Amino acid sequence: MIGVGEVAAADRRIRGRIRRTPVLAAADDLWFKLEYLQHAGSFKTRGMMNQILAGAERGALPSAGIVAASGGNAGLAAAYAARELGVPAEVFVPLTAPPVKVAKLTKLGARVIQVGNEYAEAYAAAVVHADVTGALFCHAYDDPDMVAGNGTVGLELREQLTEGFDTVLVAVGGGGLIAGVTAALAGRAGVVAVEPVTCASLHEAMAAGETVDVPVSGVAADSLGARRAGRIAFEVTTAAGVRSVLVDDQALVDARRQLWEDYRIAIEHGTAAAHAALTSGAYVPGPGERVVVLLCGANTNPADLA
C-alpha cells in the first residue's frame, strides 16, 4: 500500500520538473488548490513524471519509450513528461476523447492512436501494443509510482497552508489522485471523494466491498469515466475511511460556471466535481471546518463559458 514515504520519495524525484501550483483563499475557511495550472493542464503530470523516472531508475525504460492509455489528461501528461525527458511516447485514446485534448497530444509530440468509445477499450489496445513493442506501459491511475507522484500535491498543500486544514475535496475517476492525496495527508486531514452519479466507480466499490465494473456516461465521462476504480485507490481510501459523495451532471455544470463567473477559473466538468460537492450541498462542512477544494484539470474547451 502507498504511504507518505513513497510520496516523499516521489517528491524528491520530480521536484524541479513540475510546477508548484498556487493556493487561492476563496472565502473564510475555504481554499482552492489551483492544480489545473500544472504542466499539460492537470495533476497527472506529477504521476507520469514519477512513473517514467522511477522506471528509468529500475532499468525498465526501453528505447521503445512509453505507451499510455487515456481519455485525455493522462495522455497529455505522459506526452509532456516523455517530451521533457527525451522519451518516445504513444498514447491510445477513445474515439470520444475531446478534440482539444487530441490536438494537444499531437502538439506535444506523441503518436496518437484512437480506439473504441471508452477508456477501457483504449486501455486494452495499449496494453497489447506495449507487450508487442516492449515499451514501458504507463498506467493512467492504478500504478504505485503514478499514485505516489500524484500525492505530491498533498505534500505541497501541507507546506503552503501551514495553519492547517481539515478536509480536502477531490474529484475521482480511476482514483490515482485521491489515493495519493490520502497517503500524503494521513493523520493530518480528511479526504472526501467526489464523483458524478454517472461515473461512480469508487463509490460503488466502497458499497460492494471490492472493485466492480460500472457504466459510465455524462458530461464528465471524458475525464472521470473509469469503468472500474483502481485497486490502489480502493485499498488506500477504504483503509483511511475516506467519505464518498455523489453529484449530478447539473451540479457539475453549475459549479464549473460559478467558478468561471466568480473567479475566472476555467476548468473541466470533471474537475468541477470537487467544488460541486459544496455548491450542491452533497458535502456540508461543519462549523469552522477548513476546506480545500482541489481543482485538478483544465483541459477543456472554454467556449461554453462565454
Residue-wise pLDDT for 84-115, tens only, equals 999 999 999 888 877 877 888 999 999 999 99
Torsion angle (degrees, nearest 10) of CA 246, 305, 93, 194: -20
Domains along the chain? 4-43+148-305 (3.40.50.1100), 46-144 (3.40.50.1100)
Going across the sheet that includes 291-295, the strands are 23-27, 30-34, 291-295, 167-171, 190-196, 243-247
pTM of the model: 0.95
277 neighbors 194 (Cβ within 8 angstroms): yes
- Bigger pLDDT: 225 or 25? 25
pLDDT at 300 over 90: no
Grid cell at residue 155: 505534500
Residue-wise pLDDT for 27-69, tens only, equals 999 999 999 999 999 999 999 999 999 999 999 888 889 999 9
Torsion angle (degrees, nearest 10) of CA 103, 107, 113, 116: -20
pLDDT at 295 over 90: yes
- pLDDT on residue 71: 63
H/E segment holding residue 129: helix 119-133
- pLDDT on residue 45: 98
* Cα separation, 202 vs 209, whole angstroms: 10
Section 233-258 average pLDDT: 98
- pLDDT on residue 70: 83
Give the residue from 178, 150, 141, 188 showing the smallest Cα distance to 13. 150
- pLDDT on residue 117: 86
139 neighbors 52 (Cβ within 8 angstroms): no
pLDDT at 11 over 90: yes
Q: Which residues pair with 138 in a beta bridge?
A: 68
pLDDT at 146 over 70: yes
Q: Which residues pair with 244 in a beta bridge?
A: 193
Alpha helix (H) ranges present in 139-281? 144-150, 152-160, 176-184, 201-208, 221-224, 231-240, 249-263, 269-279
Q: Which residues pair with 111 in a beta bridge?
A: 90
Section 143-153 average pLDDT: 98
Section 144-159 average pLDDT: 98
Q: What is the largest CA-CA distance in the chain?
A: 56
Residue-wise pLDDT for 228-237, tens only, equals 999 999 999 9
